[in-house]
Amino acid sequence: MERWSGRVALVTGASSGIGAAVCENLVKNKLNVVGAARRIERMQDLAEKLKNEEGTFLPVKCDVTKDEDVFAVFDKIKETFGGVDVCVNNAGIVGTGPGLLDGTPEEWRQIFNVNVIAACLCSKLTVNSIRERNLDEGHIINISSLAGHFVYPTASIHFYTGSKFALRALSEGLRQELQEDSTGIKVSKDTDIRIDDFNIAPF
């Protein structure tokens, strides 16, 4: 982690759960962390909790399904810190889950917009930010799920599962594009899941 000390990380979905925990950890490892989520007050509480750490935490209100909000976060980061070095695409929703036969396109669009489109946009803007500063290192981390590897027989998460499979495929696509471009920007597409640890046949 030492090499990232003083660098800038964007974490989406920073207002609760895994995103808030990631922010706390990065701040404690001396990064300047920008949290993006809709519930600004929860992130402000986190900022208060982290105010004496060596890194910093800046909460920015953002609905990641609104492109203009996402652009505004990157503008804010550029203005405050110069740019983004690490992007943790964590914001994710499961949906209310009536299954594929009873679900609605509105809900499917919302899940896809949060879990997939927003991650692609934040990744692209992070790469742009790294390139415009003529840097050759950065890290994009896409928070997937076991549901990005297995299709569980649980109707309520089937669309979510599709979105996590898509995110995993798109992460690999991004990794290939970056490799072709000979950049030092890395893409991590998962927690390092050891498939053999799970007694389920991958799809």
Binding site residues, ligand NAP, CB under 6 A? 12-19, 37-39, 62-65, 90-93, 114, 143, 145
Q: Which is nearer to ligand NAP, 4 or 112 (CB)?
A: 112
Cα–Cα distance between 71 and 74 in angstroms, integer?
5
Q: Give least dist CB 59 to ligand NAP, A.
A: 10
Cα–Cα distance between 48 and 59 in angstroms, integer?
11
Options 159, 160, 167, 189, the catalytic residue: 160
Q: Which is nearer to ligand NAP, 5 or 16 (CB)?
A: 16
Cα–Cα distance between 34 and 41 in angstroms, integer?
14
* Residue 56 CB-density burial (10 A; 0-12 exposed, 13-18 middle, 19+ buried): middle
Q: Give least dist CB 194 to ligand NAP, A.
A: 15
Please confirm, yes or no, whether 152 is among the known catalytic residues.
no
Cα–Cα distance between 147 and 152 in angstroms, integer?
7
Q: Which is nearer to ligand NAP, 76 or 133 (CB)?
A: 76
Q: Give least dist CB 120 to ligand NAP, A.
A: 14
Cα–Cα distance between 178 and 6 in angstroms, integer?
24
Decide: 115 and 167 in contact? Cβ < 8 Å.
Answer: yes
The continuous run of DSSP H or E covering 140 comes out as strand 138-142
Q: Give least dist CB 167 to ligand NAP, A.
A: 8
30 φψ region: left (φ > 0), alpha (ψ -120 to 50), beta (else): left
- Give the active site residues: 160
